[in-house]
């Protein structure tokens, strides 16, 4: 039995996913896997600290839109209308 099985990592992820504010986030949390890649781990930690900073602000805006359909459209060479652009712009995950 590996370390992550002993720690019941999958059960922890399911519990955390049940607390998520959206189905998209819940799905991501359910499929979270540990990494041994230092660069990826540092990126994930940075994202976590950014999220904590947002949540600790006086009035966090945590009602995020699901931008995955819009991103898929752009990846295949589609164009965004102004409303779709602003949905992506408002998203904290847009870089």
Checking if the pLDDT of 87 tops 70, the result is no
Per DSSP, helices labelled H in 1-95 are 3-6, 9-18, 23-30, 38-56, 68-75, 82-90
Checking if the pLDDT of 95 tops 50, the result is no
* Residue bearing tokens 């990126």: 43
- Give the number of residues written for the chain: 95
Checking if the pLDDT of 5 tops 80, the result is yes
The structural domain count of the chain equals: 3
- Tell me the pTM: 0.51
Q: State whether residue 61 is helix, strand or coil.
A: coil
> Residue 39 has what pLDDT?
95
**Domain shared by 1 and 27, yes or no:** yes
**Domain shared by 57 and 83, yes or no:** no
**Domain shared by 52 and 41, yes or no:** yes
**Domain shared by 29 and 45, yes or no:** no
Mean pLDDT score of the chain: 78
Domain that residue 9 falls in: 1-34
Please give the average per-residue pLDDT across 15-41, as a whole number: 88
pLDDT digits (tens, 9 = 90+) for 32-74: 888 889 999 999 899 888 878 877 776 656 566 677 777 777 7
Residue 18, C-beta contacts closer than 8 angstroms, at least 6 positions apart: 26
**Domain shared by 40 and 53, yes or no:** yes
| Closest by Cα among 29, 74, 83 to 51 | 29
Contact 51, 20 (CB under 8 A): no
């Amino acid at each position: 039995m590996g370390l992550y099985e002993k720690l019941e990592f999958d059960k922890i992820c399911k519990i955390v996913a049940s607390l998520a504010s959206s189905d998209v986030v819940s799905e991501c949390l359910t499929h979270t896997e540990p990494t041994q890649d230092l660069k990826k781990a540092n990126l994930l930690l940075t994202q976590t600290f950014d999220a904590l900073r947002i949540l600790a602000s006086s009035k966090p805006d945590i009602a995020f839109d699901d931008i995955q359909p819009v991103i898929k459209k752009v990846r295949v060479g589609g164009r965004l209308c102004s409303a779709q652009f602003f949905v992506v712009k408002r998203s904290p995950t847009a870089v």
